[in-house]
Amino acid sequence: MCRTPTRVCVIYGSESGTAERGIRNICKKWLDKKNPNFVIVDTLDGRTAAMEFPLWRNNYDILVVATSSNGEGDPPWNFHSMLCALYLAIDAEEKPLAGLQHAVLGFGSSNFDTFQNCPRIADKLLGECGSRRMVMRAECDECEEDAGDSKMKVWSEAVFNALQTGAKGKNAEPVCDWTEPGDQLLDKHDEMVGGAGETDSMGTIGIVCIIVGILLSGIVAYVINAKSRITN
């Protein structure tokens, strides 16, 4: 009897493309191995994934998340909505990810104090929403060069092994707390929820301003044309 493959969703947040390229390369290596017992159903940026947030538990068994941080520990532009959805679920005291498992891979540069802030927040919130941490988060530092690559390799192998066992571990205790391997965190709740995420890189306010501007321009043009017809 064939076992149903574990359904995996890969979600990334990437400002410059490093995190996206990194996780896509890892996924390719996973699928190149013999007889993987899982299928990668979707590979999505955080903004797209957030649109499917209520269906995650129905469509997937495991979430593999890779992200960097931007600015003062903020999420990349395509990861805002992801954090916002998680924060809102926690505010509502819900556990929408109960029964799921997750693993987080963090990218960045230790030249910035908050370079792992977004990966840490994501790992923390996923757990608080009910998902089980199946592999300790890896924090890759581009300043470490070979050491960063080594961390990524160790994490990749650990996640692949966990994916092979699939749903067998979903009812077990998390392998560790989100505070490992680092617990320094700058919370972004008010920034994410206060702005309700982002509709796009310009934000809702920018879009509203554009619409109002177009309408006003149309009204002005109509008035000018009307006056011109009367004069003639």
If one compares 90 and 213, the residue with the highest pLDDT of the two is 90
Residues 65 and 85: beta-carbon distance below 8 Å: no
Question: What is the pLDDT at residue 166?
Answer: 81
Residue 155 reports pLDDT greater than 90: yes
CA dist., res. 55 & res. 49, Å (int): 10
The verdict on pTM exceeding 0.85 is no
Sequence letter at residue 31: L
Phi and psi at residue 68, to the nearest 5°: -110, -170
**For 19-41, what is each residue's pLDDT tens digit?**
999 999 999 999 999 888 999 99
H/E segment holding residue 88: helix 80-91
CA dist., res. 118 & res. 165, Å (int): 28
Question: What is the pLDDT at residue 80?
Answer: 96
**For 45-66, what is each residue's pLDDT tens digit?**
999 999 999 899 999 999 999 9
pLDDT confidence tier of residue 68, bands split at 50, 70 and 90:
very high
Beta bridge partners of 65: 11, 104
- CATH number for 6-197 (one of 1.10.3720.10, 3.40.50.2300, 3.40.50.360, 3.30.565.10): it is 3.40.50.360
CA dist., res. 65 & res. 43, Å (int): 10
CA dist., res. 29 & res. 156, Å (int): 9
Residue 148 reports pLDDT greater than 90: no
**For 70-121, what is each residue's pLDDT tens digit?**
999 999 999 999 999 999 999 999 999 999 999 999 999 999 989 999 999 9
- In a 3-state reduction of DSSP, which class is residue 45? strand
Question: What is the pLDDT at residue 122?
Answer: 98
From residue 13, how far is each of 76, 104, 159, 191, 192 by CA, in Å?
6, 11, 19, 17, 15
Residue 181 reports pLDDT greater than 80: yes
Mean pLDDT of the chain: 85
Residue 140 reports pLDDT greater than 70: yes
Q: How many degrees, rounded to 5, is the angle at CA 105 between CA 99 and CA 108?
A: 150
